[in-house]
Structure 1
Amino acid sequence: MTIDLPATTARPTSDEPASSASLVLDHIAASVPVIASLAEHGDHIAAWADDLASRLGRGQRLLAAGNGGSAAEAQHLTSELVGRFDGDRPAFSAISLHAESSAVTAIGNDYGYEHVFARQVHAHARAGDVLVLLSTSGKSENLLNAARAARSIGVRTWAMTGSRPNPLAEVVDDAICIDGPSANVQEAQLVLVHALCRAMEPALKGLRGGRP
């Protein structure tokens, strides 16, 4: 998919710096095919939605983590479950591990930053929960350690990453990998998060917040 630039926006010659307007349009044009590629993962996203909604309804919880922009996307997901995505419904348990600032800094100081999520997984997760890890590179050691910790205690592990191959996609139970530049992958991950929530919403509205 391509986007035609407005006729009023002139392309710079090779020896001229790009204008702000052309850089904006170039970024938007680059994001469109990356986001559109999510359609190829539609059945995969729907399967995640059905699985997660079922687990939440049984009183299990979602844990999520990421670094930088991916942390923001992970927190967006958990906020939609604890709050609401579309219309009123019960609240469901979802925790963003990177948002626990005192725990993150204490663990990072005492054990090293590569363990900031794994130790929280051991503290909070129970067999049957789901851990979602977001990364554009799929190489962050703290996420890899979290995935290994989760799998060791029977937690289902999912990853949203950039292109394969990458280490995180290989160590989790399941992954949705999006091809594209890092910034565009993060933008697509937000659409993925919203698509996941949209698909879960009908089932979640019929549940009681995981309480028996």
Structure 2
Amino acid sequence: MTHPDWNLWLDDYFARFRPAFDPAVYATLVRFRDLAVEVRSRGGKLIFAGNGASASISSHGAVDFTKQAKVRAVDFNEPNLITAFANDYGYEHWVARALDCYADPGDVVVLISVSGASPNIVRAARHARELGLKVVTFSGKHADNPLRALGDVNFWIGSAAYNVVEAVHMLWLTTVIDMVVGRAEYSVN
């Protein structure tokens, strides 16, 4: 097998990230920042959930919103929570059922899914809306994905490359954290 010209390959690969830096995204970043500050001011919390790498991004976001931005946040990544709720209610329902136990009025649910079609995440978005909660979504692939249709604030990148979408989701999420903090460089202790 012949290897590609790595310079051309990398040029093409990194071009996939350009939409993340489009000024059209700025308004969405500001809306999420404002929503997070509003949640903090009323003593509410952000609730994060995702599957696989999106669960890892959720955990990172919850910790940094709490520690750095002083916005209380939790994520649904505890194995006991996942397995107990999935076992009792079915995997497609476990996040929605966890919201019943953890969500308070005025909380904001942040849901992350590359496809925007993960049944447990889409069901959680629907349920959050039924509970009167605001929903922030991070998705990729198709513009008309079901998760994106359910959000109040929606981050979307039109790529099917999982690593690109996940990296962009992390970039946008940590950008909002730094916006709440008010600067890019600060002490973390």
TM-score by length of 1: 0.77
Alignment match, 1:137:
115
CA distance in 2, matches of 1:107, 1:51: 29
CA distance in 1, matches of 2:8, 2:164: 13
Q: How far has the Cα of 1:136 moved from its partner?
A: 0.8
Alignment match, 2:181:
201
Aligned length: 179
State which of 50, 55, 74 in structure 2 corresponds to 1:95. Answer: 74
CA distance in 1, matches of 2:66, 2:110: 15
Q: Percent identity?
A: 27
2:128 counterpart letter in structure 1? A
CA distance in 1, matches of 2:114, 2:12: 16
Q: Secondary structure at the match of 2:154?
A: strand
1:18 counterpart letter in structure 2? H
Alignment match, 1:173:
152
Query: Matches of residues 64-103 of structure 1 in structure 2 within 5 Å?
Result: 64-84=48-68, 91-97=70-76, 99-103=77-81
2:94 is equivalent to residue 116 of structure 1: yes
CA distance in 2, matches of 1:31, 1:197: 26
State which of 1, 9, 15 in structure 2 corresponds to 1:33. Answer: 15
Asked which structure has the greater RCO (Cα within 8 Å, sep 6+), the reply is 1
| CA RMSD, Structure 1 to Structure 2 (Å) | 2.1
Q: Secondary structure at the match of 1:116?
A: helix
CA distance in 2, matches of 1:121, 1:43: 28
Unaligned runs of 5+ in 2: 184-189
Q: Secondary structure at the match of 2:17?
A: helix
TM-score by length of 2: 0.86
Q: Secondary structure at the match of 1:117?
A: helix
2:129 is equivalent to residue 151 of structure 1: yes
Unaligned runs of 5+ in 1: 1-15, 86-90, 204-212
